[in-house]
Amino acid sequence: MDMITKSAIVFGGIATVHFGLTMGFIVKDATKKYEEDCDYLMILGGNIIGAETPSRELVFRMKKAVEYLKIHPNTIAIPCGGCFREGQKKSEAQIIKEYLTAHGIEENRIFLEDKSTTTIENFRFALPIIKNISGKEINELNIGFLTSSYHIFRSTQIAKCSGLKTPKRVAAPTPDKAIFRYIREYFAFFAFVLDFLKK
C-alpha cells in the first residue's frame, strides 16, 4: 500500500469520525425540548421566498415565538435578519414583527435587528441593541435565542463565541426533510469552526 493510499485512508477515517461526532452533538441538541426563561429573546430569521413570503421553516419559528411570548409576557423580542436576497422587499426581522403583532404580541415588546445576513451577524448586531435597551451588560441579563431544533447546536456555539456565557434556548420544530437540514448543518458548523480558527 503506497503512502498516498494510506494517507487517504487515514484522512477518510478522521473525516468519518468527525462527521459522526458532530452530527451526534447536532442531533442530541435537536431532540431536547429547549424552552428556557429569558429577559430578551432573539428570534433568528430564516429564508424568505420572493418579496416577503416566509419559508415553512421561518413560519415554524414565528409560531413558536408567539407561543413563547404569550407564556412569558415580560420577555422582550428581538426579531433578527436583514433584507438581502434578490427580489426581497422586507427584512426578515420586519416580517417576523408583523407576524408577532398580527398574533397578539404587543409592538412595544419588539425591537428589530434588521441588518444581519448570517447567524453570526444575528448575534453580532442584536447584542448591542439589547445592551442599549437594557442599559446593562449582556451577561447581567438572561438572553436567549429561538431557532429551529436542528440549528440549536451551532447557534449555541456562535452565541458563546459572541460573548454570551450561558445563552438560553428555545427550539422550534424542524420542518420536513430533516435529514437534509442536518447534513447541511454539519457543513455550516464545519465552516464556522474553520472561520473561527482563522481569527
Q: What is the pLDDT of residues 157-172, one digit of tens each?
A: 999 999 999 999 999 9
Widest CA span in the chain: 69
Distance separating alpha carbons of residues 76 and 133, to the nearest angstrom: 10
User: How many other CB atoms are found less than 10 A from the CB of residue 173?
Assistant: 15
Q: Taking the CA atoms of the chain, what radius of gyration do you get in angstroms? A: 18
Q: How much is the pTM?
A: 0.81
CATH architecture of 3-198: 3-Layer(aba) Sandwich (3.40)
For residue 8, the model assigns a pLDDT of 44
Statement: residue 138 has pLDDT above 50: yes
Average pLDDT rounded to a whole number, residues 124-146 = 96
Hey, which residues does 42 pair with through a beta bridge? 78, 145
Alpha helices (runs of H) in the chain, residue ranges in sequence order: 3-30, 56-71, 92-102, 119-134, 152-161, 178-198
